[in-house]
Amino acid sequence: MGISLALFNRLKSDESLMLAYQDGDTDAFELLYRRHKDGLFAFLFRSYPRIAVVEELAQDTWVAVINAVERYTPDARFRTWLYQIAHNRLVDHWRRADNQHTELTSAPEPVATDNSEIEDLQRAVVAALAQLPREQKDALLLHEQGFTLADIAQITDTGVETVKSRMRYARNHLREKLGDEI
């Protein structure tokens, strides 16, 4: 019975799981969390490659989701909503960092992999991204997460054409910096 229920939950959409959590089903929330936690954490890290900061931002994002559960209505995709919250937290953090004159160094914290060549390439990409205007970087990174232009427009609270433009500039910049490596 428990196995069947777990299997049934796995087949549920994000929105159904969120509604189940709204009814007090904490197992549904756990499943939802495990679906998205690593993707969200990676997105935040790529935007701001400092583990301590990313942990704080991820926690803030999920806490905001939990606190908003009773008001949640499945008007939009849960994942879009989740990244919208995360993006807002990220923007807030940048604003605070700007006010405190905190600057992100060009060398991001390394993420351990089995391949040192890949690590080097990843580090180079992150360094190139750090040079991009924040809006362009966001658009590119959200696209890397699998979001459509319309989703990105919703998450960043802008128009689809603006998103297209930002992405075009971002890609051109990366080609200039990284050449054929990407």
Partner 1 sequence: MKKLPLPSPRSPAQLDEEILAYAKQRAPSGKHYSRPAWIGGLAAVSVVTVAVLLVLPQQPDPVSPAMDLDVQLESTAERVVPEQFSSGNSATESARIGATATKLLRKEGSPMAARAGVAAMADEAASSAEVLAPPPQDLLQERLRELATLLESGDTKEAEAGYEALKNNCDSCKLPATLQEAIESFMVDN
- Report if residue 87 touches partner 1, rule: CB under 8 A: no
CA 69/CA 63 separation, integer angstroms: 10
Nearest-approach distance from CB 120 to partner 1, in angstroms: 10
SS3 46: helix
Comparing C-alpha atoms, which of 119, 124, 97 is closest to residue 178? 124
Q: Which of 22, 84, 158, 165 binds partner 1 (CB under 8 A)?
A: 22
Q: Which of 5, 6, 63, 107 binds partner 1 (CB under 8 A)?
A: 63
User: Which parts of the chain fold into alpha helices (H)?
Assistant: 2-10, 14-22, 26-47, 51-67, 78-99, 116-130, 134-144, 149-155, 160-178
Q: Which of 18, 21, 153, 163 binds partner 1 (CB under 8 A)?
A: 21
- Report if residue 20 touches partner 1, rule: CB under 8 A: yes
Nearer of residues 63 and 95 to partner 1, judged by Cβ = 63
Q: Which of 3, 8, 11, 38 binds partner 1 (CB under 8 A)?
A: 38
Q: Which of 14, 15, 17, 29 binds partner 1 (CB under 8 A)?
A: 29
> What character string, x for contact with partner 1 (CB under 8 A) and - otherwise, covers 150-169?
--------------------
CA 163/CA 119 separation, integer angstroms: 29
21, two tokens: 């959590």
